[in-house]
Amino acid sequence: MSLAVIGDDDGRLSPSGQWMPTLSEGARAPHAPGTSGRYAYAMVAYRYLGNSGLKITELTLGNWVTAGGQVGRERAIDVVHAALDAGITTFDTADTYMNGAAESILGDALTGRRRASLEIFTKVYFPTGPKGANDTGLSRKHILESIDGSLSRLKTDYVDLYQAHRFDYETPLDETMQAFADVVRQGKALYVGVSEWTADQLRAGHALADDLGIQLISNQPQYSALWRVIEGEVIPTSRELGISQIVWSPLAQGVLTGKYAPGAPVPEGSRATDQKGGGGTFIRRFLHDDILAAVQRLRPIADEVGVSMAQLGLAWILHNDAIAAALIGASRPEQVAENVAASDVHLDDATVDAINQILGPVAVTDPAETSTVSPKARLV
Ligand SMILES: NC(=O)c1ccc[n+]([C@@H]2O[C@H](COP(=O)([O-])OP(=O)(O)OC[C@H]3O[C@@H](n4cnc5c(N)ncnc54)[C@H](OP(=O)(O)O)[C@@H]3O)[C@@H](O)[C@H]2O)c1
């Protein structure tokens, strides 16, 4: 199987103009059908997104609860620049994050960078601004209005990936997919993805996308060594359909870094203390002593591999070739610098098994935990 090369055989320029030499041939892996493939460069490796030709950095930066929330505009921009400097070229946001502010900040941070060297993802479903009757969901009206708002805040003519942030039980799926197809045909998005869809929903959406001649190539679920609900159904179905996972909260919102100790107060300035972005509420699910104690038992494994706990948690994700990217968050640039090193950490199966053994009793695996927010039927 042949490998395409971005740049030339010796390396490529990062969007911030740094030369990134290619690693040895042995560091590259071929793209087998149903896997995300992998291109390894000196900084962050690339993987294919689904069965498409689009390559994204296997560590992708997101700005949920941070940009414009827990973290002010300047720090949020520094975090994006740290990511660019480290070789990340793929960025994820959503219209609803901090009511549009997160998209605006990302747009500002990327202004002046070469657009073709970036992959920019956003999402539609949740409202921005007032929660009017048509400000939510995946109706044609909401999708076609939302994409224009996102593009204007992101200061770009197109996004690389436009994602349905949740499944919408109120809108007929063919209306949704037709609207996405129109967004693609208008050139406002290149590819389509979804987030937190079940295996059956992925199958139905993929079939309609196929009929319409557009590419539904990704799902964005929560996934970490503590939250494994996609393994039973979503991943096998996605492999069959040629859909990759771009996984959110790969460090369980910071819990897998080991900085939350059982029985101890949460660290000052950490997400657990965030009220403005809402992070302090979302992380609560993981802040239980049995979970925190199990996480502490991973330390000897991290020490033996010679990596930090954060790098171990991300390397655990990247060991799975159904995953195209771990979608990392960061409240400060140093976290990005530390976390990108995970792209160069390759865990063997025995190490992955050892991590799974330790976290097994506290990890969530039930596919029914896939996140849904829409009412399960039309309201009338
Ligand atoms: N599709 C969806 O429904 C959905 C939902 C949620 C998120 N997402 C996406 O996923 C992205 C990432 O989610 P996430 O932010 O929860 O991911 P995460 O990587 O699990 O958590 C990131 C947080 O962990 C802490 N952290 C990270 N690296 C660290 C390090 N080396 N040392 C110490 N602390 C560290 C930081 O928080 P503190 O420093 O503040 O403690 C950081 O903000 C979001 O930005 C968004 O794009 C999508």
Measured CA to CA, the distance from residue 247 to residue 314 in angstroms comes to 11
Average pLDDT over residues 42-55: 89
Question: pLDDT-derived band of residue 20, with 50, 70 and 90 as boundaries?
Answer: low
Measured CA to CA, the distance from residue 109 to residue 177 in angstroms comes to 31
Measured CA to CA in angstroms, residue 217 lies from 207, 283, 323 at distances of 12, 29, 12
Measured CA to CA, the distance from residue 155 to residue 343 in angstroms comes to 29
φ/ψ (deg, to 5) at 42 = -65, -25
Question: pLDDT-derived band of residue 370, with 50, 70 and 90 as boundaries?
Answer: confident
CA 141 / ligand 1 centre spacing (Å): 31
CA 336 / ligand 1 centre spacing (Å): 11
Helix (H) or strand (E) holding 325: strand 323-328
CA 3 / ligand 1 centre spacing (Å): 32
Ligand 1 pocket test, candidate residues 63, 271, 274, 343, most atoms within 8 A of CB: 271
Ligand 1 binding pocket includes 96 (Cβ within 6 Å): no
Which of the two residues, 18 and 326, has the higher pLDDT score?
326
| Ligand 1 atom closest to Cα of residue 329 | 15
| Ligand 1 atom closest to Cα of residue 195 | 1
- Enumerate helices (H) and strands (E) in the chain, giving the number of each: 12, 12
Question: pLDDT-derived band of residue 37, with 50, 70 and 90 as boundaries?
Answer: low
CA 376 / ligand 1 centre spacing (Å): 29
Ligand 1 binding pocket includes 122 (Cβ within 6 Å): no
Which of the two residues, 41 and 267, has the higher pLDDT score?
267
- Residues belonging to the active site: 97
Average pLDDT over residues 366-372: 87
Ligand 1 pocket test, candidate residues 248, 276, 338, most atoms within 8 A of CB: 248
Per DSSP bridges, beta strands 244-248 and 19-21 are unpaired
How many CB atoms neighbour CB 29 within 10 A?
Answer: 17
| Ligand 1 atom closest to Cα of residue 270 | 41
Reported as half-sphere exposure (CB side, CA atoms, 13 A), residue 73 has a value of 8
How far from the centroid of its chain's Cα atoms is residue 66's Cα?
14
Q: Which residues face 121 on adjacent strands?
A: 92, 161
Residue 360 scores a pLDDT above 80? yes
Ligand 1 binding pocket includes 69 (Cβ within 6 Å): no
Average pLDDT over residues 304-310: 97
Measured CA to CA, the distance from residue 212 to residue 161 in angstroms comes to 17
Residue nearest to atom 41 of ligand 1 (CA): 270
Q: Average pLDDT, whole number, for the chain?
A: 90
Measured CA to CA, the distance from residue 21 to residue 13 in angstroms comes to 9
| Ligand 1 atom closest to Cα of residue 92 | 47
Local structure of 210: helix, strand or coil: helix
| Ligand 1 atom closest to Cα of residue 339 | 31
CA 339 / ligand 1 centre spacing (Å): 11
CA 253 / ligand 1 centre spacing (Å): 5
Measured CA to CA, the distance from residue 370 to residue 237 in angstroms comes to 14
Residue 35 scores a pLDDT above 60? no
pLDDT tens digits, 123-170: 999 999 888 999 999 999 999 999 999 999 999 999 999 999 999 999
φ/ψ (deg, to 5) at 370 = -55, 135
Q: Which residues face 163 on adjacent strands?
A: 123, 193
For 23-369, which CATH class?
alpha beta
Supply the pLDDT for residue 192: 98
Residue 41 scores a pLDDT above 60? no
Ligand 1 pocket test, candidate residues 253, 273, 340, most atoms within 8 A of CB: 253
Measured CA to CA, the distance from residue 143 to residue 267 in angstroms comes to 40
pLDDT tens digits, 199-253: 999 999 999 999 999 999 999 999 999 999 999 999 999 999 999 999 999 999 9
Measured CA to CA, the distance from residue 309 to residue 108 in angstroms comes to 32
Cβ atoms of residues 31 and 77 within 8 Å: no
Ligand 1 binding pocket includes 64 (Cβ within 6 Å): yes
Residues 6+ apart with CB under 8 A from 210: none
Residue nearest to atom 9 of ligand 1 (CA): 248
Four-residue CA torsion sign, 264, 327, 103, 111: positive
Per DSSP bridges, beta strands 11-13 and 19-21 are antiparallel
Question: pLDDT-derived band of residue 379, with 50, 70 and 90 as boundaries?
Answer: low
Domain boundaries, the chain: 23-369
Residue 27 scores a pLDDT above 70? no
φ/ψ (deg, to 5) at 346 = -115, 110
* DSSP per-residue string spanning 345-370: ----HHHHHHHHHHHTTT-B--GGGS
Residue 90 scores a pLDDT above 70? yes
Which of the two residues, 84 and 5, has the higher pLDDT score?
84
Average pLDDT over residues 48-74: 95
Supply the pLDDT for residue 317: 98
Residue nearest to atom 10 of ligand 1 (CA): 248
CA 62 / ligand 1 centre spacing (Å): 7
Measured CA to CA in angstroms, residue 233 lies from 203, 204, 306, 357, 369 at distances of 11, 14, 33, 21, 12
Measured CA to CA, the distance from residue 57 to residue 53 in angstroms comes to 13
150, burial (CB in 10 Å: exposed 0-12, middle 13-18, buried 19+): buried
Ligand 1 binding pocket includes 331 (Cβ within 6 Å): yes
Ligand 1 binding pocket includes 125 (Cβ within 6 Å): no
How many CB atoms neighbour CB 253 within 10 A?
Answer: 28
Measured CA to CA, the distance from residue 191 to residue 301 in angstroms comes to 39
